[in-house]
Each structure stands twice: as structure tokens, then as C-alpha cells.
A and B are shown apart, each in its own frame.
Chain A
Amino acid sequence: MPTWQQLRDVKLSEYTDAADGWGKVSSRANADKDRVDNGMFAKIHDTQKGEAASRAGGDVQQLSRNYQYLHTECGLIRTALNGLAAELAAPQKKLKQALEDAENLKFTVNADGTVTYPTQSSVLAPGNNTAHDGAPIPYLPGKAEGIGSADANKGKAEDIAQRIGDAVREAAEIDGRYAGVLRKLKAEPGLTVSDETLVDAAKDTKAMQDAAGKYADDDKIPHGKSPKENADWWNGLTQEQRDEYATLYPASVGSLDGLPSSVRDDANRMVFAETRAQIQTDLNKPAPNQYIPNPSGSYPAVVVSPEYREWQKNQETLKNQLKGIESIQARFDATGKEGLPEAYLLGYDKNGIGRAIIANGNPDTADHTAVYVPGTTTNLNDFDDNISRMTETWLETQKWAPGEKVSTITWFGYEAPHSIAPDAMQKGWAHDGSPKLLQFMDGLETVQGGADKSHTTIIGHSYGSTVVGDASNRGHLAADDIVAVGSPGMLTGKAEDLDVDKGHVWSEAAWNDVVPAGGKVAGLGGYTWGVETWNGIPFNAGYVQTVPSDELFGAHRMDVDTSGHSDYWTRDSESLKNQSKVVAGAYDKVNED
């Protein structure tokens, strides 16, 4: 516990200077992690085959994890030191004010914090007295003893003594709080970054949120605001403040639409790595006793314990969550493979059916951006296809946009219907999902710097296209082209009603894809007056329901050479090529009806 002299003399700038050093180490580690992932791992793991590559790959991944660990922990130490300095400034100021007041009154502040004052009274004999901080109840601390005293200086001295005492106690509380959290931020020896270490890092982050809550609190991060407001908040921060929020509140920062994708990626990967470690640790917990004696005492003699059932259920959940993590990790590891660009994790949540938003290539600087909205039964425990659909689209689009920057994004940011029937027969899932899609698209436009900065295509597959339709009905959809693939309907009757320029709605439906017809049964299409045609031949007229693959709907009906509901992104297929041509803006190359 510091004395009042130590509180007076402490050079708080030493803490902030030290914080700068830790901050440098943290930021450098963050940048170095990217260099390991993209400059080392991506180069050797795929270009080479054999034992050498897998060994080196393991070493390099360990290095990457070390940099991530340094980024997190040194960042927290930086925040602790800044928080300490910022909080100590208040009691130090309070103390200095009290000392100044004492000096002005010609009182002496003693080494133990008591205050010696000359008696000022017409009745008392002249001399010196000493005031201590703290006053007995029922008087007010430090003030009351002086009240009514014959000595006018008594109350003043007691007030000063009290303020000195308060300042020191406040400083001690702050010091103790930060010392405690700093001691937790000890580096593990060696080079291993174990799951336990990462789980601890997550706990450290939590502890720091509590300890430094007065200095940097989550409430200052915008929640439920527009991407523009999020961006304004971010742009108003110093670089150091940004780094602090990103390391202290990675989950909040990672989910903010309107922030730079590289910032969100860094923050989300921190959450991702720590979540993965937590899941692994939980999975490794031993099972409880499987059998217990039958409580009713009759046959059978033993029954499965409730604890065991619970454990079994948890294991199932954890294994499913791990599957999602592995799918995403596989994409990270694929960077460099076949020329695939770096990945950006723009959203991640393990809970329920999960959520993940993954970009191939930086969307902030992309000339062409594609956002893919998946459909019914999308679940993070079976996510490989949803990722590969956009890596395939990225690779194919490269061919139609030579020399231009492309970013393709898997946007699983909504609660997709869990089943075809009854869930996907309802519009509620779309109504819930579309505001999130609008917000994300708006965020993209914000980080890209405006609507004209990137040519943007939304690809809705299956029920995903229903979400896109609903989003378009609901508000301003920040997109230039819409592609509806295997669509059960877009809750609108005509392509021209969608929120893109005329002629920029595209459709793909395989002849044996049953979803478009099923969508009509469910009523996910839209209604319009018109004449329905098949290959141009009229067969029905009136107020009819349409889906995007109907001629009457008025979308460009692109050629499809794949079969069924799920193969529109097969490599080298006409189906994939046509979508990619739209993404590349090579409209005249599209083959259509």
C-alpha cells in the first residue's frame, strides 16, 4: 500500500510509457501473425507434399499461435497499465489539492498523514495540535470534530487529513485491483500455446474487463447502432484506444458492422481460438459415473445416472461445435492453395445452429463483392459446402475479372430454418433474418467507402433467396445484382420490384430442383397479374404466384447444367460460370434463355 508521499511522487507517465511498449509488442505480434499465416504457412503447406511440409506446417502453426497469444496478453497488459495510470490520476490530484490547502494554511502534513495545525482561538492557549483522518460516528468523517470547537483550525485540519487518507485508500484500492489482474498475466514458459493457456487467456480478458471497467467499459462500444454510427465511433478513437477495445472486447468489436474487415477478423479470430480451446478442454473432461444404483431399489439394480445423460448430451453439442470450428479452420489453412486469398472471419458464434461470416479476400478494397446467403438447414456443424461454394465462386470469378480484386463472402448471419417442413414453409425466418442482412450489406458499403466503390452481388440460395427478397422489400438493399439460386420464392411477384436496377436480377434453377415448386406450395413466392408462360407458350393467366425461375417473374434465367438443389457451384459447371460472370459484372458473357 502506497504512502501519501509515494502517491504524491508516483510518476504516472512511467505507466503509460510502459503501456506504449506493451502495446507495440501486441500490435507487432498481430501483424506478425498475419505474416506467418500468409507468408509462411500458406506457402509451404500446400506447395509441398510429404512429411517435411506437415512437420514444418505444425511448427509454423505453433508460431502463429504464439503471436496470437502475445497479441492478446501483451495487449491486456497495455490496457492494465493505461487503466492504472488513468485511475490513479484522480486520487493523486485529490491528494495534491489537500497538500496545497495545508500549505496555504501553514499546516504541516506529517509522515503518517496526520496534519499538525496551530491553534486559532481567543479562548484556548496558543500551541499546536494534530488532526487524524476519520471521525467518530455520528459526526461526518473528518469534518465533524471541528464543528463547534473553540479552535477554528481544527475542522480545516481534519478535513485535510481526511482527504489525504481518502486519496491514499482510493489509490490502494486501484493499485491492488490492477496488481491482482497483472499478476494473472504471466507468460507460460516454453513455446507451447496449450488449450489451457488459451482458456486462461479468455479468463484474463474477462478479469481485465472487470478490473479496467472504469477505464474502458463495454458500454462505450456502440450496440444496436447503424454501421455508419459504428464507423464514426471507431474513427473517433485513437489507434491505442482501438487496440484496447479490440483486445479487451474482441467479441463486441468483431461483430460491429461498419468496422474495417481486418479489425473484425483479428478480433473474431481471438474469440474463435479461445472458443476452440474451451470446447476441447470441455470435451476432455472425464465422464461422470455412468451407472448408479436404482433409486427405487427394484429391478434393474442399476440405472444410467442423470449426470451421465447430461454429460452425454453436452458431448454431443461440443462435438458439433467442434465440427464447425474445423470447417472454418480448414478454410484458414487453405489460404494460398490454388491461389486462394486470405480469409476474413467477420462473424462467429458457436451457439445454437451457429453463425459464421467468412470472406475470401478483403471486401473493403474489392472491386467485385459477392455475398452468399445460405438456406434451410444451414448449420455450422455441416458447413464445408457453404464455405467451398464461395471459394469456388472466388476462383471462377477471377477468370472473368482479370486484374480486379474480388471478395466472396459466405454470410451465415441469421437463424436459417431448421427443416424444410414445417420451418422453411414459413416467412418468419426471413423476417428475422433480413434486417441482419440489410445491416451487414450496409456495413460493407460503409467500409468500402460508398455504393460506387464495389460492384456487389447478393446470391441467395434456396430459403436464402427468400431472405434476400424480404430484405429488398423491407429497406434499402446495398447491392447491384441479385442472383436467386434454386429459389422457393422471394416474397415478391416481379423481378423489377426488387431493390436493384432493372435487368439486374438473375435466376438459376435446375430442371429437377424441386424447391421452386415447393416454395409455391408454401406461398413464399409473390403474386402478380400476368400471363404465365413456359418456353414462351402461355398456359395460365390471372393473379398468379411467381418464383424467380418463372418466365413471368422477369429475371434473367441463366443456363444451368447441374442437377438437383445443391450442385450449382460445381467446379467448371455452366451454373457456376454464369453466377461468376454476374459477380464479375461480365453480363454480356452470361448464357441465358
Chain B
Amino acid sequence: MALNAKWQEIIGEQPAAMSLAGLPAPEGGGGGDLKADVGPWHSAGNTAGELRTSTSNSVTDLDTANEGVTGSTAGFDSSAALTEILGTWKTRVSAVRDECGRLEGALKAAGRDFGEREEDTRQKVAAEGARQSGPSDQPGQKKEG
């Protein structure tokens, strides 16, 4: 948390705790100001999930790309240097991947807490009802996910 606080100070954002996991439950302390409407949280959570996959590929790429370098380039200090930094980047990229995973969960959970899921379901039920009652599809139904 200390690092995050420092980052905040540096970037000049208003100080805010960095962990969504530490969010108060909305019924507990959300307050009237907490206007969380449908969709965006889930959608952002989905993007985080996709980024987790994408970043996971980067971890793999770092491994496969650097495989065999040391063996085929013996005697070169650059290869030793590459090995030294490779570890630090694998750690970093893995941390970013995990952060995406954490954000995916946290954003979706936040969305759920704010009733996105219920709203989504309600819309789907409504749309389903409309579909059954009329022959034509309802193009107007908006899915925010």
C-alpha cells in the first residue's frame, strides 16, 4: 500500500486506497453519492480478463523467445546481461498479469454489488418477454456487458 500511496502522490491523483478488495459493501457505507449504474463495471472487468490472457501470452513469449540464447551464444556478456534482466521482467509482467486477474474479479464484484447483475438479468428477462410476445426481434435492447 505504501508504494501505491507514493505513486498516487507522484501522479497527482487524489489519494485513494488502491485495493478494491477493501471497498466497503454498498449497503454498509456506499452512501447516496454512490451512483453505480449498469454495465460499465462488468464491461471493464471483462476487459481486465482479456488483458490477463494477453499479458499471460507475454510471459510465455519472454520464456520461449529467450530459450536457447545462453547455450548458443556462449562467451558473450550480453547473454549474461539478458539472463539477468529477463528474470526481472518475467516477475514484472507476471505481476501485471495477476493484477489484471485481481481487477477482473474486483470490478465484476463491484458491479455485482452495485446491482449490475440484477439489472442485466432484469433486462434480459424483459427482452425475452418482448421476444416471446412479438414476432420481431427487439433491436433496442442494450447489452452493456
Contacts and interface: CB of A to CB of B under 8 A. Distances in A.
A452 to B, nearest CB: 34
Contact of A56 (B34, B69, B106): B106
Contacts of B62: 21-22, 25
Interface in A57-88: 57-63, 65-67, 70, 73-74, 77, 80-81, 84
A58 B80 CA distance: 37
Contact of A25 (B58, B69, B106): B58
B76 A191 contact: no
A214 B20 CA distance: 48
Contacts, number: 220
A188 B88 CA distance: 7
Contacts of A60: 44, 103
Interface string A78-104: 001100100000000000000000000
B108 to A, nearest CB: 11
A187 interface: yes
Chain B CB within 10 Å — which of A22, A54, A65, A80 has the most? A22
A117 interface: no
B89 A59 contact: no
B69 to A, nearest CB: 5
Nearest to A26: B58
Contact of A191 (B14, B31, B74, B95): B95
Contacts of A561: none
A178 interface: yes
B130 interface: no
Interface residues of A, number: 75
Contact of B85 (A84, A182, A326): A182
Interface in B76-100: 76-78, 80-82, 84-85, 88-89, 91-93, 95-96, 99-100
Contact of A40 (B47, B81, B92, B96): B47
Interface string A254-279: 00000000000000000000000100
A60 to B, nearest CB: 7
Interface stretch (A44-52, A141-149, A356-364, A463-471): A44-52
Contacts of B126: none
A48 B35 contact: yes
A175 B77 CA distance: 6
A306 interface: no
B33 A49 contact: yes
Contact of A29 (B18, B58, B78, B88): B58
Contacts of B138: none
Interface stretch (A192-200, A503-511, A524-532): A192-200
A189 interface: yes
Contacts of B43: 39, 43
B51 A14 contact: no
Classify the secondary structure of A's interface with B: helix
A36 interface: yes
Nearest to B66: A18
Contact of B16 (A19, A55, A70, A81): A55
Contacts of B39: 47
Contacts of B82: 18, 77, 81, 182
Interface in A134-193: 175-176, 178-180, 182-183, 185-193
A32 B78 contact: no
Nearest to A178: B78
B64 A21 contact: yes
B10 A194 contact: yes
A186 B84 contact: yes
Nearest to B29: A51
A428 interface: no
A50 B35 contact: yes
A503 B51 CA distance: 51
B16 A6 contact: no
A2 B74 CA distance: 8
Contact of A61 (B13, B35, B75): B13
B92 A187 contact: yes
B17 interface: yes
A59 B85 contact: no
B121 interface: no
Contacts of B80: 179
Nearest to A66: B96
A11 interface: yes
Interface of A: 1-3, 6-7, 9-11, 14-15, 17-22, 24-25, 28-29, 32, 35-36, 39-40, 43-44, 47-63, 65-67, 70, 73-74, 77, 80-81, 84, 175-176, 178-180, 182-183, 185-195, 277, 280, 326
Interface of B: 3-4, 6-8, 10-14, 16-20, 23-24, 30-31, 33-37, 39-41, 43-44, 47-48, 50-51, 54-55, 57-58, 61-62, 64-66, 68-69, 72-78, 80-82, 84-85, 88-89, 91-93, 95-96, 99-100, 103, 106-107, 110, 114
Sort A-B residue pairs by CB-CB distance and give the 4 closest, nearest first. Answer: A21-B65, A6-B75, A2-B75, A50-B34
Given A6-B75, A44-B107, A189-B88, 17 more contacts: A18-B65, A24-B58, A32-B55, A40-B48, A43-B41, A43-B43, A48-B36, A49-B35, A50-B35, A50-B36, A55-B23, A56-B110, A58-B4, A62-B4, A70-B58, A77-B85, A187-B92
22 contacts: A15-B78, A20-B65, A21-B61, A29-B58, A32-B54, A35-B50, A47-B40, A48-B40, A49-B33, A51-B24, A52-B23, A52-B34, A56-B103, A56-B106, A56-B107, A57-B13, A58-B4, A59-B99, A66-B96, A73-B89, A189-B88, A189-B92
